[in-house]
Amino acid sequence: MDSIILQSLAAEVAKRIDGSRIDRIIQVGAGTMVLRIWTGRERQQLCLQADGDSHFFLTTQSFAAPATPPRFCQLLRARLRRLVKISVEPFDRIIHFVCAGADNKNYDLVFELLSKQSNMILVDLDTGLIVDLLRRLEGPRILLPGQLYQLPEQSSYLPLTASAVELDAALSAHDRDVAAMLVATVYPMSLALALAVATEVAAGKELSQLLCDIQQRIAAAEFQPRKVRWAGGSGLLPFAIGDQAFNTIEAFDSFSALFDSGVSENESTNPQGLGEKMLGVIKRQEKKLKKRLKHIQQDQQRYVAPEALRITGDLLLANLHLMRRGMDSIEVDDYYQSPPTRVKIELDSKLLPQENAERLFHRYRKAKRAGDHHARRLEETEAELLWLEELHLTLDEAASPDDLFQIQTELEAAGLLQKVKGQLGKRPAVKIEDQLLRAETPGGRKLFWGKNSRTNDYVSRSLTGPKDLWFHAHGMPGCHLVLKCGEAAGSVSDEDILCAASFAAGYSKGKDAGKVDVIVAQGRDVKKPKGARPGLVTVETYKTVMVVPKRLDK
């Protein structure tokens, strides 16, 4: 990725996330950070990759983090709260993410995309000093905490606006090999762009004019991301040029989509890939169940209400003395109505009066069996959909391989996912108590809540006493939260209840909403139906409160 593509990618990303809130920062590898961002309209993920082929992009992939975040990741979590703006050093592979901090300071997260020397450096903008960095360096260039941050020295290259005379002199030094000269002499210039320009020169175009046209297209932001391949190599182009130089050309709507596709291609051997795979399984099963619901509802409409058939049969039995074989219909008094009314009942003229009544009772029994069957299937399908929605939320909240492992085992137990080898594999058992999230209310009362189906089950079935208060977002997937109060349930303050409800809302699907309705119930009213999936309960009696969602500080 040369500085041309970096510049275009930065402009593309800035347009979507400048001024956004940073919700979470996770480190998914030795040099890869993922910033989970809320723009005010949608959730985004910005991936900064300083390993191997360094780059950054907006991604839709699922990422998991170590249970304990590394040193630099912890620092970024503590300091950064909002992404103010993104800028790029002119024609250089250095990008600045200017952020507002929790301590009313401004920071510059400098991302140097310098191949094997790629680095992320947090700089205090008030002093210009390095707070800390991903990789500390001591050598020709010193990068250490407390040092003044200085840009690396730039090599001497010809600019894109170089004159024809300068370019001709450089060509002579490279035996008239246009591509080799461009890569070695002109900046910015990637090998893919050099090959494209060389092809255009071979077709009779002026080299200096071509470079001038490239600069004008960059200034006008006329970017059309392309992934190209040629014999012995592959690369990226910012726009269409020199198509004849390449064997294959793949166009993308954006550079983020281009880089995100690379993550998808290589996701099968890492936890991120497993997370994406599980998300696909959940979405496909949700689609299947919604289709099943529609079919059940259509089947229900095909059957007449059973009670109407039974009543009609009773009316025929009561009027057998008026019926004769060969009759097509009969009018009788419907004594189930008050006052009784005359109704017309259609008959099968080939059947005896008794047989007509029996036919209706047979249809009644069949419709009743079908209705019971449909009601059972409807209940089971709705329960499984609710379980999948909870699982979907758990996957979205997953912050470590251990979190993914819990989802993986649950999907495997349900028969929706084959056992996966070589990804998360076997992991040491983790005490369920250690997986709970916890906090205290203003009144000093303990709060505990789960972050997956297993821990939610534990909170509701084992941790919640009969007189404790239990919380859950109303009508949407969310955590099970208990406020421990025991015998003092009647003396819990409104402030403590609203605090607990805010956390229940913050760890639900409504976490980004302005306000959320939250169920408040006593523990004795929370029941686990026999045979229900993990994390599913029924609540007999409850009230609701409306609160602003709240989450733990990062």
Q: Is residue 1 over pLDDT 60?
A: yes
Round to whole Å and give the CA distance between 551 and 77.
14
Q: Are 64 and 394 in contact (CB under 8 A)?
A: no
**Inter-axis angle of helices 191-202 and 178-185, to 10 degrees?**
140
Domain boundary among 244, 265, 286: 265
Has residue 232 been placed in a domain? yes
Has residue 139 been placed in a domain? no
Domain boundary among 202, 232, 265: 265
- Please state, in angstroms and as integers, the Cα–Cα distance from residue 375 to each residue in 293, 300, 366, 382, following that order: 11, 9, 14, 11
Residues 169 and 115 in one domain: no
Round to whole Å and give the CA distance between 134 and 29.
12
Has residue 237 been placed in a domain? yes
Categorize the per-residue pLDDT at 269 as very low, low, confident or very high, splitting at 50, 70 and 90: very low
SS3 370: helix
pLDDT for position 65: 62
Has residue 147 been placed in a domain? no
Residues 14 and 50 in one domain: yes
Mean pLDDT of 182-197: 86
Domain boundary among 235, 265, 295: 265
Q: Is residue 276 over pLDDT 80?
A: no
pLDDT 10s digits, 426-450 = 455 567 888 889 999 999 999 999 9
Round to whole Å and give the CA distance between 186 and 200.
17
Residues 122 and 221 in one domain: no
Has residue 427 been placed in a domain? no
- Please state, in angstroms and as integers, the Cα–Cα distance from residue 345 to each residue in 315, 336, 364, following that order: 9, 15, 15
Residues 11 and 128 in one domain: yes
Categorize the per-residue pLDDT at 496 as very low, low, confident or very high, splitting at 50, 70 and 90: very high
- Return the higher-pLDDT residue of 17 and 270: 17
Residues 201 and 283 in one domain: no
- Selection from 391, 421, 129, 150 nearest residue 274 by Cα: 421
Residues 251 and 231 in one domain: yes
Q: Is residue 485 over pLDDT 90?
A: no
Round to whole Å and give the CA distance between 364 and 317.
14
Residues 237 and 331 in one domain: no
Round to whole Å and give the CA distance between 390 and 454.
11
SS3 413: helix
Has residue 227 been placed in a domain? yes
Categorize the per-residue pLDDT at 489 as very low, low, confident or very high, splitting at 50, 70 and 90: low
Round to whole Å and give the CA distance between 347 and 513.
59
Residues 280 and 255 in one domain: no
Residues 129 and 66 in one domain: yes
Mean pLDDT of 508-516: 90
For 189, the token pair is 């210039």
Categorize the per-residue pLDDT at 387 as very low, low, confident or very high, splitting at 50, 70 and 90: confident
Q: Could you tell me the pTM of the whole model?
A: 0.49
pLDDT for position 32: 86
CA 362 to chain centre: 52
Round to whole Å and give the CA distance between 477 and 466.
23
Quote the DSSP letter at residue 252. Answer: -
Q: Is residue 554 over pLDDT 90?
A: no
> Quick count: other Cβ atoms within 10 Å of Cβ 237?
26
Q: How many residues does the chain have?
A: 554
Range of the domain at 114: 3-133
pLDDT 10s digits, 98-133 = 999 987 899 999 999 876 678 999 999 999 999 999
Cβ contacts of 81-85, under 8 Å, gap ≥ 24: 81/21, 81/22, 82/19, 82/20, 82/21, 82/22, 83/17, 83/18, 83/19, 83/20, 83/21, 83/22, 83/35, 83/37, 84/18, 84/19, 85/14, 85/18, 85/19
Q: Are 383 and 532 in contact (CB under 8 A)?
A: yes
pLDDT 10s digits, 227-256 = 898 887 888 888 899 888 898 998 888 877
Q: Are 264 and 252 in contact (CB under 8 A)?
A: no
pLDDT for position 266: 41
For 110, the token pair is 């400098």
Has residue 410 been placed in a domain? no
Number of domains in the chain: 4
Cis peptide, bond prior to residue 306, ω within 30 of zero:
no
pLDDT for position 101: 92
- Please state, in angstroms and as integers, the Cα–Cα distance from residue 411 to each residue in 261, 285, 426, following that order: 26, 11, 15
**Inter-axis angle of helices 164-173 and 207-219, to 10 degrees?**
120
Buried b / exposed e along 65-90 (16+ C-beta atoms within 10 A): beeebeebbebbbebbbebeebebbe
Has residue 10 been placed in a domain? yes
If you average pLDDT over every residue of the chain, what do you get? 84
Q: Are 485 and 469 in contact (CB under 8 A)?
A: yes
pLDDT for position 302: 62
| CA 429, 416, 278, 461 torsion-angle sign | negative
| Neighbouring residues of 302: CB distance < 8 A, sequence distance ≥ 6 | none
Residues 230 and 292 in one domain: no
Residues 75 and 98 in one domain: yes
Round to whole Å and give the CA distance between 177 and 197.
12
pLDDT for position 113: 86
What are residue 102's phi and psi, to 5 degrees? Answer: -75, -15
Residues 257 and 284 in one domain: no
20-29 and 341-346: which strand pairing?
unpaired
For 179, the token pair is 């591509």
- Selection from 241, 245, 276, 220 nearest residue 63 by Cα: 276
pLDDT 10s digits, 78-94 = 999 999 999 988 778 89
Categorize the per-residue pLDDT at 422 as very low, low, confident or very high, splitting at 50, 70 and 90: very low
Q: Are 194 and 241 in contact (CB under 8 A)?
A: no
Q: Is residue 331 over pLDDT 80?
A: yes
